[in-house]
Amino acid sequence: MKSKKKTIFIYSGEGTHHNETRFKFLQRSLRWSTIEKILDTKLGLNLEHLWENEIGRHRCPHSPLLTTVAEICLADIWGQWGYEPDIVVGHSTGELAAAYQAGLYSLEEVLLLAYGIGEVAVNLDGMMLHGRLSDTQIADLQVNLSSLNFTVDADKYVTISDYKDAIEAFLDENPNFVKMQLPHPWHHPDYRRFSDQLASFPSAKIKDGVFLSGVTTRFETHLEDDYWSRWLVQPIDFIQTMVTLKNKIDVPLDIIEIGFHPVLEKCCEIFDRYSYASSMFRGEDEAKWILNQRKKLDQDSLLENLKQTIAAFRPNLDFDTPLAYQGFGSLEFTELSTILEPYFPSLAPQDFYRYNTINLLIQRFGTERSVERSARQTYRKNKVVISAMSCRFPSAVETPAQFWEMLLSKKDQVKQLPGRGGDEAGFLNDTATRFDHQYFGIPPAEAHTMDPQQILALELTEMLWRDAGIDPETLDRKRVGVYLGVWNQEYQGDRSSVFYPTGTNPSIIASRISYHYDLRGPSWVSNTACSSSLVAIHYALRDIESGRIDYAIAGGVNMLIDEVFTKNMSSSGFLSKDNRCKVFDNSANGYVRGEGGGLVLLANKSLADKYYVELVGSAVNQNGRRSQLLTAPDPSAQEELIEEACDDAGIRPQDIAYLECHGTGTKIGDPIEISAIKNTVAKDRKDPVYVGSVKSNIGHLESAAGIAGVIKSIAILSHGLIPPNLHFHHANEFIGFESQNIRVVAENTAIEPSACIGISSFGFGGTNAHIIVRGVETSVRKEIKPVAIPFDRERGASLSQYLRLLEPEASSANADLQLLQTKEEISEKIFTREDIVQLVENLFAQLTSIQEIDPDIELTDQGLDSLSGTELIAQLEKTLNVELDPDILFDFPLPDQFIGEVYALATGLQN
């Protein structure tokens, strides 16, 4: 029969804390706040101030108190995880916390006792050493023996203490001994002179076999009144104490050292069958260390506690299935992170996008190493610069110079415009959207069937050549490529027109540029949603580096043509209800759409005399199946992406001074992005890294979002100034910017013109891109200047003919007429309740792959997420010809409730 394991808490002594030991992790203990109150009311001490001023100095009267406080809190944290000790044993000062854990004293009594011991200890100044001695040397010792710690071969490892002169004389003869930081000679016989100063507290009686004394080396059921006076003046024989423990127990052990730093592991080697874990390690992150140590121990108690906690929150949760497939969204992740945080210190909602199942969380949280930088095989490649740029951004920006002035103005460009539907967005104004198709010789009949993004791309290309000062006719046309980010085909077009196929196909947007300017290099459209334009730049860079081409037009365009699509995006939960990208702010709730576009001209550096920046590195990757959902971000992928881009650039992540973030302004997405930055760019750096997002100024330009960030970054390096992020008032509650050495740019901030800037874009299908630009020296740096606009806006086609806006609400009379028509249409089909049940079951199976609906669990808890829930409602409306409230799933969550309401509404239309 398998022997049952026992858990031993072994408390270390006074010498392990240091001035970098932090109390933040200890505040996770349920005891911390109670201790604060006791110290305030009984001793007039503020625990946090005391810690900041005294930790690591080892000065009495406070040092024993801080040691006891820390060990009580650490033991409590282990207890919250299910590790309750069968036996406790303390080494020196560690006996105080052990006595409390055993139940010999109340919390108040042990704290006052620890402080009282400190008040006595302050009377003697001295020094302490530790080292190795033989039994003969110990017998002839001329200084005070404080403790016998463990046996090494035939010798013993000991701690000695005495007055300064005696210790220094001993050290001259025994240079192999090591000085300790303690300024008081603990366990010294001279403390007898002050023993009457130590107040005594009668101990409670406890059961036998729980508390093992380092003073008596026996198990004790209560302590005599003079116990601590004896403790002060006699050596601690920890060797015999551990022998007593070994003789008492003949089962496997989980030994947990409770203390600031592992110093007692050698003492445990006396046992044959044991696992050992420590609670802290000097200089290491407290949470990561203890979670790694927890892996060494038996997990049964932890898992049982964890399962009970999760079951109380969500019964029947599958630990191996991604949480998103079990109906979890940002709200549920927030709730679950709060519930599980005691088991996984610092757990935040965004962590469930890194660990998408409960079992992955258990296995990997806090124990994963950051992305390892691999040795990258290098090859000779052409250097690439950005020698020109053009842009059209909300609301009236038509040149990079105007863009910079807009950024400095700190004015939000998101607004509602007449004729553009009912929502606010980052719209181009009426002037900026009067596209001059005639400038390019496009006849009106063709222009009126073309996606406006095609004409916008042509205009941006013309402005690009003008900024470059290059006549494209002079170039080798085979050596110029076009790489354009486009994502959504919102323009519906005229199906009756012969120009319909070329007018609406997204691939034609790049082809228009190649055709008009007779460019014969690669020409293609990148569609990876929000990362489209950065992905386009990445591949343009690669083609110039490899020598395939000399120049590349790269960037992206995005126009808001279809109000219906915007409404659908809002219904799916992507868009902000108050139409702002409040990046990194605690009120972040989604993004607001924006339109416009931008291009850069990439050139082989050897062909450019003047240029804005060097394009030094880039990377593209995919989340794969690591993310919770197809559309969810993945922090591990983002970390790998930044590392790969830095490898490509030949720099360290810490060399990046500013990050133009993807930063859409979502409550969970922003912390995920910051967590990846924390583990890469912000890691091990002295100065903070600055972050921001142009989306706070102009909205999210989707397929043109990345290029907007690139042009902003070029302007930053050109002017040596980072403009402020808008809508940042209170930091997102799931981001600790200060502790992570990351700063949101809240005011104009200087930056070196030669600095490196990283720009990120993440597509909602999981394709991520990051590029790195570096400023250049003054002699070759190109100045951003105004560029004349050649287009005739008066003859330009108005955008209104391209828009698909929602129709104004019909009058009540028309609505009644429509209702009658609907009733007439469905009069031949009478839906029974069984019909509704079958319909819901079929749709549910199609949307979730779950064949049987559990009648006792809410539909949204059975795998129905926001997207599939929206689709379920839409399909029911279409099939039953009935209008359903979007919140019906939440108002009637149980299957019978939901089906009953749908049935009532459907039959109500028929009666």
pLDDT digits (tens, 9 = 90+) for 723-761: 999 999 999 999 988 778 999 999 999 999 999 999 999
Residue 195 β-bridge partners: none
Q: How far apart are CA 239 and CA 823, in angstroms?
A: 91
Given a cut of 60, whether residue 818 has pLDDT beyond it is no
Q: Are 813 and 820 in contact (CB under 8 A)?
A: no
Given a cut of 70, whether residue 133 has pLDDT beyond it is yes
Question: For 497-595, where are the E strands, in sequence order?
Answer: 523-526, 551-558
Displacement of CA 212 from its chain's centroid (Å): 44
Query: How many contiguous H segments (helices) and E segments (strands) does the chain have?
Result: 29, 24
Displacement of CA 368 from its chain's centroid (Å): 14
Q: How far apart are CA 440 and CA 453, in angstroms?
A: 14
User: Residue 445's pLDDT is what?
Assistant: 76
Arithmetic mean of pLDDT, 71-89: 96
Phi, psi of 711 (to 5 degrees): -65, -40
User: Residue 14's pLDDT is what?
Assistant: 85
Cβ contacts of 350 within 8 Å, gap of 6 or more: 333, 635, 668, 669, 671, 672, 675, 734
Among 906, 845, 899, which Cα is nearest to 877's? Answer: 906
User: Residue 808's pLDDT is what?
Assistant: 56
Is 732 strand, coil or helix?
coil
Q: How far apart are CA 466 and CA 401, in angstroms?
A: 14
Q: How far apart are CA 691 and CA 335, in angstroms?
A: 28
Q: How confident is the model at residue 801 (pLDDT cuts 50, 70, 90)?
A: confident
Given a cut of 60, whether residue 823 has pLDDT beyond it is no
Given a cut of 60, whether residue 909 has pLDDT beyond it is no
User: Residue 795's pLDDT is what?
Assistant: 87
Q: Are 242 and 267 in contact (CB under 8 A)?
A: yes
- DSSP conformational letter for 235: -
Q: Helix/strand/coil (H, E, C) string of 765-777?
A: CCEEEEEEEEECC
Q: Are 130 and 75 in contact (CB under 8 A)?
A: no
**Torsion, CA 409, CA 410, CA 413, CA 416, rounded to 10:** -110
Q: Are 649 and 772 in contact (CB under 8 A)?
A: yes
pTM over 0.85: no
Stretch among 137-141, 450-454, 782-786, 844-848 having the lowest mean pLDDT: 844-848
The DSSP element (H or E) to which 123 belongs, if any, is none
Arithmetic mean of pLDDT, 470-478: 94
List C-alpha distances in Å: 523 to 485, 514, 552, 882.
11, 7, 10, 47
Q: How far apart are CA 577 and CA 389, in angstroms?
A: 34
Arithmetic mean of pLDDT, 256-282: 94
User: Residue 368's pLDDT is what?
Assistant: 59
Among 433, 537, 554, 468, which Cα is nearest to 785's? Answer: 468
Given a cut of 90, whether residue 233 has pLDDT beyond it is yes
Task: Give ∠ CA 876-882-885 in degrees, rounded to 5.
Answer: 80
Q: How far apart are CA 553 and CA 681, in angstroms?
A: 29
User: Residue 883's pLDDT is what?
Assistant: 87
> Which ranges in 44-92 belong to alpha helices (H)?
47-54, 63-80
User: Residue 807's pLDDT is what?
Assistant: 66
Residue 6 β-bridge partners: 253
The single residue listed with the structure tokens 């600055």 is 690
Cβ contacts of 183 within 8 Å, gap of 6 or more: 58, 59, 125, 126, 127
What is the overall mean pLDDT for the chain? 91
The neighbour count for residue 748, using CB atoms within 10 Å, is 13
Residue 622 β-bridge partners: 767
